[in-house]
Copies of this chain bind each other. A is one copy, B any other.
Amino acid sequence: MEYSIQKMAQIAGISSRTLRYYDEIGLLKPARINSSGYRMYGQNEVDRLQQIMFYRELGFSLDRINDILSSPAFDSRKALEEHREQLLLKRAKLDLLIANVEKTICYKEGRIKTMSDEEKFEGFKQKLVEDNEEKYGEEIRAKYGENTINEANNKLLGMSQENFEKAAQLEAEIKSTLTEAFKTGNPASPLAQKAASLHKDWICCYWKKYTKEAHAGLARIYVGDERFKAYYDKDQPGSAEFLRDAILQFTGQME
């Protein structure tokens, strides 16, 4: 089976330009060039391309893919783990970014119109410091390896604990608000809706992404989960269902 460049591209779901580029950088050369100068690819090339696509899928650079595929002694296992670390770092940075953006949105929602330049500057400076620490930390890690990774982890631990404390506080708030709201008997009452809103905040301490649908889905599951049901029903039987209804109302998922 011989493939033309476009057939090959179709198989892999990439462009012919990409194949030409791979030929150019020596990552994937065609099996032969026919009399008209056309690139012809064979089975071996299909296989190699699949390997390439695989590692590319994992976000490796074409250079590294070349290393991996050409050197048989290449420690792919180590490469994968290092790569994983890098991805985790990337994600941590992204998380910071997202948090910052969300913070900013909240700030704007708060309608704080007059925000002194000094304030902005302060917040910014803080961020700069954080960034520097991050960069510094990265350099250290690159230089000294694992020893200092623990330090970084400790930082994350600090964040997790902070997160956990925030969650615990929210939980207490939910509980007291729910107790009051339950007396109204109306899941649509402002107090009940406040409880649902607090519950949303609480969820956001644990979930990577909040959606109303998922929130509602969780609420439905709650009532069927003995642990949560027991927790919420402990003081006031029926509270779990009440919270569920409040959340369904809050998320607009009542049918």
Nearest chain-B residue to A132 (Cβ)? B13
Within 8 A of B (CB), among A73-105: 76-77, 80-81, 83-84, 87-88, 90-92, 94-95, 97-98, 100-102, 104-105
A63 adjacent to chain B (CB < 8 Å)? no
Residues from chain B with Cβ under 8 Å of A47 in the complex = 117
Asked, given contacts A80-B108, A164-B218, A218-B164, whether A90 binds B100 with beta carbons under 8 Å apart, the answer is: no
The contact string, 1 if C-beta is below 8 Å from chain B, for chain A 108-145, is: 11000000010011001001100010000000000000
Task: State how many copies of this chain the complex holds.
Answer: 2
Give chain B residues whose Cβ lies under 8 Å from the Cβ of A120: 50-51, 54
A67 within 8 A of B: no
Check if A214 sits within 8 Å of B153, measured CB to CB.
Answer: yes
The digit string for A212-238, where 1 denotes a CB below 8 A from any CB of B, is: 111001100100010100010000000
Other than the known A50-B120, A153-B212, what 18 A-B pairs have Cβ atoms closer than 8 Å?
Answer: A51-B120, A80-B101, A80-B104, A80-B105, A84-B98, A84-B101, A87-B94, A91-B91, A91-B95, A95-B208, A157-B211, A157-B214, A160-B207, A160-B211, A160-B214, A160-B217, A164-B218, A164-B221
